Structure 1
Amino acid sequence: YRPISLIDVPSKMLETQIARHMTGQIVKNEYLPKKQFGFRPMHSCSDLVLNV
């Protein structure tokens, strides 16, 4: 049997914060093109279909 370890929880929290910060900077500085709908917050591929 392996012991239960909660060491990964702080690293998951840090990873989430870093991802949020990086995503915010990418959106704020407009590094992604306006036509990019997939993998963006508040956008989806269905939104692209509605724009066509």
Structure 2
Amino acid sequence: RHLPTPFGGVKASGIGRDGGDWSFEFYMEQKHIGFALGQHKIPRLGA
């Protein structure tokens, strides 16, 4: 099957759609990350 295209039913089948944008939003969760920019002196471990 062509993976970006959704498949599945939405009425009596009970499984809903899978594939495409529907499954991406269903299976993924938002995660916030942060990182430092610039010159920071961080000691090396084990040195």
TM-score range, shorter chain: under 0.3
Tell me the TM-score normalised to structure 1 length.
0.24
Tell me the TM-score normalised to structure 2 length.
0.25
Which of 1 and 2 has higher RCO (CA within 8 Å, sep 6+)? 2
